[in-house]
Amino acid sequence: MALLSTSAGSTRFDVPPYVPNGNECQLFETAWTRQLPLLLKGPTGCGKTRFVSHMAARLGLQLSTVSCHDDLAAADLTGRYLLKGGDTIWVDGPLTRAVRDGGICYLDEIVEARKDVAVVLHPLTDDRRMLPLERTGEQIEAPPGFMLVVSYNPGYQNILKALKPSTKQRFVSIEFDFLPKAQEVAVVSVESGLDEARVAPLVELANRLRKLKGNDIEEGVSTRLLVYCASLIDSGMDRREAIRAAIIEPLTDDPDVKTALAEVANALIV
């Protein structure tokens, strides 16, 4: 999130653009006001991270974002003892810093993290609003200015990487999806600089390919990929080359599937 200095020496937040698709902004603000944890769920590249950045800047809150992965353990969030200059010192992790200082801690794709992460979050997501640090013996009470936000993609899971019902029920949830065609065309046009008339066929192609999700391809075409593709075209690249580089290649490594996707694209993009 960008910060812009003001003439008075203070700072103001540069609000990233975001196009609402419902009452998600109002729901976020209410969750923030009532100190409720928030869960965002939706397909990859549909705007979850942009939404959090937008709301953090809109509310004037510091934002700490953690991209979760297979090796992310609870200690990576809470902190650990490190050797420094011959001394052993405790260093707070991003979650602990956010709880101490306030602001939003956003854990992106929470199901990718190790299972012990959910255990650490539980005391923060009920009436205790507490972060226990077993290694230091501290019990840090979250201030009113702290908010926990997590996200995941429910369509890209298996039995080993599913968010438990007991965890999901600790959050207020917002479901995201791709924007309606007209809105998505407008967003991609603004983000890429390509005019809407040339963006519209790309969005139509994306909607066709999204219907193949779970069959020939694991994930649908994200709005992010559409922006990349439109940006390449706006820079002068041939449309078919841009579609292959920014849409087809990121979706699959299978030669036969790539050929099939290219045929769909060629039929739509004249």
Confidence of residue 13 (pLDDT cuts 50, 70, 90): low
- The residue ranking higher by pLDDT, 48 or 161, is 48
pLDDT exceeds cutoff 70 at 10: no
Q: Is 203 exposed, middle or buried (0-12, 13-18, 19+ CB in 10 A)?
A: buried
For residue 69, give the 3-state DSSP assignment. coil
What's the mean pLDDT in 17-33?
Answer: 94
Superfamily of segment(s) 3-175: P-loop containing nucleotide triphosphate hydrolases (3.40.50.300)
CB 230: neighbour CB atoms within 10 A? Answer: 25
Of 26-40, 146-160, 178-192, where does mean pLDDT reach its minimum?
Answer: 146-160
Q: 32 Cβ partners below 8 Å, 6+ apart?
A: 55, 59, 61, 147
Using CA atoms, how far residue 96 sits from 33, 67, 130, in Å, is 21, 16, 10
pLDDT exceeds cutoff 50 at 159: no
Residue from 147, 163, 124, 152 nearest 49 by CA: 152
User: What's the pLDDT tens digit per position in 64-119?
Assistant: 999 999 999 999 999 999 988 888 999 999 999 999 999 999 999 999 999 899 88
Domain ranges (residues) in the chain: 3-175, 181-268
Q: What is the pLDDT of residue 102?
A: 95
Residue from 89, 46, 48 nearest 65 by CA: 48
Q: What is the pLDDT of residue 156?
A: 61
